[in-house]
Structure 1
Amino acid sequence: MAVSRKNFMKEKTDSRLFKLYDTLLPYIVVLIFLLFWQLSIRAGWVSSKKLAPPLDVLMTFINKLSNTRPDGATLQVNILQSLKLSLSGLFLGVAIGTPLGLLMGWYKPIERIVKPIFELLRPIPAIAWIPLTILWIGVGDPAKIMIIFFSAFVPCVLNSQSGIKQSKQVLINLAKTFGASNFESFVRIGIPSAMPMVFAGVRIALGNAWATLVAAELLAANAGLGYMITLGRQFGKPDLIILGMVVIGVLGFLFTYTFEKVEKKLLGWRL
């Protein structure tokens, strides 16, 4: 009995150690990477003019919280500007692309009308719209939002259309048996069935919108993370470039993490 209890306690301790190791492993890997990065520059393997060491990037981060040079804005202002553009374009892409995809997937006439035009526009990358966007609406924030919209619109349409087409026919037939109209089946069966794919499309759209941000902010911007990175290149400041890249990466991670939590909360009934 004592031996069994001893084995049980040992297994419990091993399990806790494994969970602790599993939790700390990603942070250990990142720390090792940063140390190697710092040491490789200190040792002269890589020129600091081409790749700033992590400590320099950290000092630039602290400095940019209050210093507006060289791009004319603090880091907080640049982040807020980029968030405004990316989230506005993402919202438009989701608000227009998701209903369109659901309607195309459920109603065949709508799909026949819209699909040829959509398939023609779908392969065009978002940044290819920059010249036309400048001609149409100039180089202000609406132009940047429109470019980000194009990057978010396509995955929302595709995933919503694919998701609603996976609705179980047996449920649709059952609804018709009880007198439900086609629109009622669309609302009560089609849309709920499509939600996992809709959320997957929004997640892809979120990544696309954030990734397109730098290209969008090349249009005569005066603030934003992409603009900060561009000026970092012009002034030969790799620390500023890397800081902008790191902030974009961290914010993208936080957005994805938060979105996954929201998705799990709203779609818990699917599990």
Structure 2
Amino acid sequence: MPELPEVEVSRLGISPHLTGQQITQVIVRDRRLRWPVPASLETVAGATIEGVERRAKYLIISTTKGYLIVHLGMSGALRVVPADSLVVKHDHIDLVLGSGLCLRFNDPRRFGCWLFSATHPSADHPLLRELGPEPLTDAFTLDYLFNASRGRQQAIKTFIMDNHVVVGVGNIYANESLFKAGIHPKRAAGKVSKARYQRLVPIIKETLARAIEQGGTTLQDFTQADGQPGYFKQELMVYGRGGKACMQCKSTLKEIRLGQRSTVYCPQCQR
């Protein structure tokens, strides 16, 4: 599943092609996504796109007629292509632009979503209103995360992956950040000291920022808006390396299931 860096890379890729453009047509070929694509989506035809934002893993396309809420789901991808480009299997939605290009959404598994909101959705939409702070903003601080963790018995890994605590720290980046911070993924969040959170918070920020800079992590389903894969996977130190040697101490990395997600850690480097 595309994580926050992949979604941000998609936003950066499509924004220059969309901002300021008129939507001349909305083509919906299949409404059967995670939630049925509403007929109201087509009402943005004729509107001008004012910008593209990201909130957690959601993209918000602001137009003069309302807001489109887009989620890539498990396998969704956005491409900017000529409007007359050959349509292939799983090309479910096109936003046709006055420039002659279109924003095309392809989603083989159909877990993505395209929804419409008449008002900006960040404050009152049920999908967004209860989300935690963005990890790359000043709202995500040592004091915030430490205070939120007090009394929490859940594992630190599932704690930082909770979108009500902080958005966008998905499985890959939780694995990597905890390894760099030297924190065992099963340690109770409420028992991690403030000094260790002081190390963890900037590591999360740095890991996500580095992934965005390099174009996201190449997964089996993800490519960038221009069709090229990301490159951050080349730098992964633990994720997907269970049973291999730790890059720091050469011990064997262990792989377990935690919160139903694959979790890889070094029993020597992480305590």
Do they fold alike, i.e. is TM over 0.5? no
More strand by share: 2
Higher Rg of the two aligned structures: 1
Higher helix share: 1
Alignment TM-score, normalising by the size of structure 1: 0.22
Which structure has more RCO (C-alpha within 8 Å, separation ≥ 6)?
Answer: 1
TM-score, normalised with respect to structure 2: 0.22
